[in-house]
Amino acid sequence: MAKQDSIFFNNPSLLFLLLLLFEAIHVGRAARLNQWESGIQLPTEKDEPQDIDDQQLGTRWAVLVAGSAGYGNYRHQADVCHAYQLLRKGGLKEENIVVFMYDDIAMHELNPRPGVIINHPQGDDVYVGVPKDYTGEHVTAANLYAVLLGNKTALSGGSGKVVDSKPNDRIFLYYSDHGGPGVLEACESGSIFEGIMPKDLDVYVTTASNAQESSWGTYCPGMEPSAPPEYITCLGDLYSVAWMEDSETHNLKRETVKQQYETVRERTSNFNSYTFGGSHVMEYGNTSIKAEKLYLYQGFDPATVNFPPNVLNPDTHMEAVNQRDADILFLWHMYTNSEDRSKKTEILKQITETIRHRIHLDGGIHLIGTILYGPAKGSATLNSVREPGLPLVDDWQCLKSMVRLFETHCGSLTQYGMKHMRAFANICNSGVSQSLLEEACVAACSSHDPRQWHPSNQGFSA
């Protein structure tokens, strides 16, 4: 849910760096993540006066998820902590905000400001007061589903807090993480909803990138604008800081979902230049919710009452790093900043092994394509993009099985290798059998020693 995406729903669902807004209209039980749930309805513009009282509005709920761990992924937890502060200023109660994050960066030995997390080079501490609802090993897809479904009995660990929504309540979901085509995370996040998200379901989704590209990290060391000199990791994600900084500088009782979508799309594309990095923000689902005012989901900060509804700032281009290269950037800054020779040697070894494994993954996938489809059609078949409206893959179980088969013989895809998910989807869509793929994997990877990259150490990606 690195990614980031934004989604506007009327009932919960997951993301990959995304933002979800919902309204739950049902009787006597919490909103459900079931597209056949007849009680879930999308609010229409005529149902929403310019300003409505709290009783008519119901309760605003929010679920904030940072799906990654490690100091190199600082930006994802910083994004989520920032989102929490924004919503609290908007009047959402702590009891109605559920936070998922590993909580391993605030007190990390590499954090130059122990106990403090920032999401902007000159930003305030966004970690203070953030509830630790689901942390560490309790940050799981199963717990996230249970929270969204209001199913306390399905929870494993954590605070036990769930979305206990009632009629007229609204739910906002934001997810930040890594990903790949078909993977519930952030890069290529559009691929999750392409051909799957129906337009008549009460859900509106925006994602940080389309189905073919990565999202981008920003406020990174050595870039413009740069993180403070003591930081060796990126502070935020381009899409995430775009929507939050827009919300903080505008009157959300006057700004619509549509206006923010257009502003975030402009900024995340680096004002359509893509010169310093940027991605195509996408939207899916029922777009009728776009006419609604943002305060119905994010709340309203009285300090913004005299702010404009939405005025796009002058074209301020921001340097950014591809999410797939952010870990290398982090390691490189560790290497250049270290004064300990033995530690520098260790970090340099980690960098070279990581890059070599990336080269192995790219070469292995290319060779497998050649074996399966021939030298003339291999790359084109693996990288082909289906027509708009079709899902990434017809058989999701096949996708999972093929990825596991590859990793067994060739090593973990890692976050970098998630970009090859489309290749495995196309292998499934073309009807290749598991035995034929296994033969190709053995041929492509038999001479490679995966060592630490083996799934027995890394776990399977699917």
Q: Which residues are catalytic?
A: 178, 187
Asked whether the beta carbons of 269 and 281 are under 8 A apart, the reply is: yes
Q: Could you tell me the end-to-end alpha-carbon distance of the chain, in angstroms, rounded to an integer?
A: 15
**131, 136, 153: which is closest to 81 by C-alpha?**
131
Q: Facing residues of 23 across strands?
A: 170
Taking the CA atoms of 20, 23, 28 and 32 in sequence, report the sign of the dihedral they define. negative
* Geometric angle at alpha carbon 141, from 138 and 146, rounded to 5°: 85
- Distance between CA atoms of residues 84 and 171, nearest Å: 14
**100 in helix, strand or coil?**
strand
- Listed residue (205, 262, 291, 216) closest to 19, CA to CA: 205
* Dihedral, 191, 195, 198, 199 alpha carbons, nearest 10: 90
Query: CA-to-CA distance for 447 and 436, rounded, in angstroms?
Result: 19
Judged on CB neighbours under 10 Å (0-12, 13-18, 19+), 299 is buried
Distance CA 132, CA 161 (A): 10
**Alpha helix locations (H) across 308-454?**
326-337, 341-373, 378-383, 396-410, 414-417, 421-429, 434-445
SS3 (DSSP) at 144:
helix
Give the angle subtended at the CA of 84 by the CAs of 113 and 98, to the nearest 5°.
115
The two structure tokens encoding residue 285:
């689902």
| 112 φ/ψ angles, rounded to the nearest 5 degrees | -70, -15
Q: In sequence order, what are the residues at sequence separation of 6 or more whose Cβ sits closer than 8 angstroms to the Cβ of residue 199?
A: 285, 286, 287
Query: Strand 97-100 and strand 60-66: pairing?
Result: parallel
Query: What gap in Å lies between CA 127 and CA 142, rounded to an integer?
Result: 25
SS3 state at 62: strand
Query: Rounded to the nearest 5 degrees, what angle is found at the Cα of 396, between the Cα atoms of 394 and 398?
Result: 95
